[in-house]
Amino acid sequence: MQPQQRHSTISPLLSLPGAVPAEGVDEGVAAHYGDLFREQRALADGTGLVDLSHRGVVTVTGEDRLSWLHLLLTQHVSELPVGQATEALILSAHGHIEHALYLVDDGETVWAHVEPGTREALIAYLESMKFFYRVEIADRTDDIAVVHLPAGSIAEVPEGVVVRETAHGRDLFLPRAELEPYAAGHGPLAGILAYEALRVEGHRPRVRFETDHRTIPHELGLIGTAVHLEKGCYRGQETVARVHNLGKPPRRLVFLHLDGSEVHLPGHGAPVRLAADGAEGRQLGFVTTSARHHELGPIALALVKRNVPVDAPLLVEETAASQEVVVEP
């Protein structure tokens, strides 16, 4: 079972030969274009392009945009340099992850892309927190498409297009009308399954996949990348500070190498147990994302209880799995 998508934006690239539609949260873009492993290798080699046009795009303009966002987000953004990418969370009052924003400021506007199907709730929350601040919030999803270029790509970026650059590549906020011609000139195209396989390999968590209603940032290793520990108050900060000082989040993210002889790839929510306890043993966690990798074979991310031994062989449903530590227990 995969997290479900409520609203979808259908990409015109789905009409291309070989395009196979993605399902669930990623509905609206291609799962692949006919050769999953070739697409993965292209991204790993720094070529190709991923259509992420189903993601929500939200902008914040106005004189107070950075200082205002600083009050709401887990990240330190009050003095965010122009063009510097960052990521941030919005937490509940109890410190549970509600939204993830992937940000960049162009000097006049903060641009963020967010998980499909979450922008309406995010915008509603932001609007409720405007008060007297000089900010304007806009949903740009209908006219702006997110396109990902992998690290090492030499593809040109059209003039005027906002770019969010990280160690993993560049996210372009491309006018939606330019999506088809840009993709035609900067192939080969890679589907969301290839993109996700490299995300899993890189141990990068994704909201609504690696999170549930009680996930806190420490469990996913987001302290430092999306959560700044030396900034002012924000909703949920008390939980972040308390768990950081005690050092004991209840669960931890792990990377799993799955037995490659199994044909079945475990789905989201598949139970994780100690191999020594067998398939009827006590459940100690669950798979959050699984993928087929062009070099590593079947792999997955999972959330397990903090006290699961780091060297213990595991069992995912009936598939043997060995773990790599992502978050130290």
Q: What is the DSSP letter of 69?
A: H
Q: Are 71 and 126 spatial neighbours (Cβ–Cβ below 8 Å)?
A: no
Total Cβ atoms within 10 A of residue 129: 15
Q: Find out whether the peptide bond into 188 is cis, omega within 30 degrees of 0.
A: yes
Q: Is 310 left (phi over 0), alpha (psi -120 to 50) or beta?
A: alpha
* Per-residue model confidence (pLDDT) at position 231: 86
Cα dihedral sign, 39-103-59-239:
positive
Q: Is the pTM of this model over 0.85?
A: yes
Four-residue CA torsion sign, 146, 100, 28, 48: positive
Rounded CA gap, 256 and 233, in Å?
36
DSSP character for 108?
Answer: S
- Position 143 scores a pLDDT of 96
Interior/surface letters 249-261, b for 16+ CB within 10 angstroms, e for the rest: bebbbbbbbbeee
| Tens digit of each residue's pLDDT, the chain (329 residues) | 355 444 457 999 999 999 999 999 999 999 999 999 999 999 999 999 999 999 999 999 999 999 999 999 999 999 999 999 999 999 999 999 999 999 999 999 999 999 999 999 999 999 999 999 999 999 999 999 999 999 999 999 999 999 999 999 999 999 999 999 999 998 899 999 999 999 999 999 999 999 999 999 999 999 999 999 998 789 999 999 999 998 789 999 999 999 987 778 999 999 999 999 998 999 999 999 999 999 999 999 999 999 999 999 999 999 999 999 999 98
The pLDDT value given to residue 7: 47
